[in-house]
Structure 1
Amino acid sequence: MARAGLTPERLTLAAAELADELGFDQVTLSVLARRFDVKVASLYSHLRNSEDLKTRIALFALEELADRVSSALAGRAGKDALAAFANAYRDYAREHPGRYAAAQFRLDPQTAAASAGVRHAQMTRAILRGYDLDEPDQTHAVRMLGSVFHGYVTLEAGGGFSHTAVDSQDSWSWVIDSLDTLLRTRTTG
């Protein structure tokens, strides 16, 4: 019988919180069981295994992040949309480092196709419609934006920009301005 009060949703939220506290890679069924003061076996009524737990955290993070980005983008276009999109990702990574890491967790193709990851791609393409890019340039731009934003956020979180007097916010703004300029001046062909 399932322990009273434990549900897959409650366990997922607690695991996401643990990911932010300890790091996504440190979240295990054992750690989660300790959080609820139960034996690991009690969790198997709600979770299949550690992979299931990691997948649930990833799906939760993708959904939460997609909702945040969607709200940030509402009513925006062009550079304003690009900046709102980028800032929503960066802010989420700063506020929820473990959840942000979970959002990068590799999902099987079927799970990925049913996840909020699809919304992320759709929102990126919606921003790029304002730049009038045709294929394959639009796909290249989706990959570029994801790479730049993820790379910047990852380097910043790891202290990669703490060795210089130039403020990382100044660099972030410069990156967004540069991406906007590149996208506006890029011609398909």
Structure 2
Amino acid sequence: MSNTQRYLVIDVIRVPEAARICAEHEIRYGKLYLGTQWQTQIESSPLWIQFYEGDEVWQQWQNDKQWASSSVCFEFDDTVLQADVISSLQQHITITSEDGRLLLFRFYSPKSLMVVLPHLDLTQISVLCGLARELSVSSLVIDADALLPITNPSDSPTLSPLMISKELAEELLS
């Protein structure tokens, strides 16, 4: 879609060549933890990558199982400013359980999303999407088609913190 911006959030610990590939192909990217409370962990920060259908990142995401299993695509309306896109992506680095615990959330992991999504209601799914209108994973991810793509159920998306149940927090920590 021409009115869509796509951003891949990818785990650079699992895909260390991602930044190099982006730089070689002049694809815009940045460190997700930059400017957050997690900045001290910048070396292990996931990357956000703005990509387009058919470019090198798209090819890797569609054809490489390591890229596919280590990333999630967020689609935004093309009117959303890049700073707002990044804020939306950074929103869920940390989530809160209903008993007040802060958790580092690997929301960019298809595996983590498949654990979390069945436990979320529509309001929580909207919060998870943030300003994105859709979340998707590569077709190479096994069993992901049962849950994804996720369309933001809200007509007026906002940035809000995601709160999960105590039980789901325990499951994520196990």
Specify which structure has the higher proportion of helix. 1
- TM-score, L = length of structure 1: 0.27
- TM-score, L = length of structure 2: 0.29
Higher Cα Rg, which structure? 1
